[in-house]
Amino acid sequence: MSKKHKWCNKKIQELNLPTNVLIALVKRGSENLIPDGSTTILENDIIVLYK
């Protein structure tokens, strides 16, 4: 995730994703996170979406 991306530094609950889209995984460095609504998307995160 680039720092210029509109999701950067926002919590998942703030993203207003369509109901059929789920952020299933956030890869942050060597960590794999199972996110919830309070997870903040950070620069360099890799986001795995499920649709």
Q: Would you state the pLDDT for residue 48? A: 97
Residue 35, domain extent: 12-50
Q: Do the domain assignments include residue 5?
A: no
Q: Would you state the pLDDT for residue 3? A: 86
Q: Do the domain assignments include residue 7?
A: no
16-49 pLDDT, tens per residue?
Answer: 999 999 999 999 999 999 999 999 999 999 999 9
- Please report which confidence band the pLDDT of residue 14 belongs to, taking 50, 70 and 90 as the band edges: very high
Q: Do the domain assignments include residue 29?
A: yes
Q: Do the domain assignments include residue 26?
A: yes
Q: Do the domain assignments include residue 30?
A: yes
Q: Do the domain assignments include residue 42?
A: yes
Domain count, the chain: 1
- Distances 29 to 8, 15, 51 between C-alpha atoms, Å: 16, 22, 24
Q: Do the domain assignments include residue 41?
A: yes
Q: Would you state the pLDDT for residue 35? A: 97
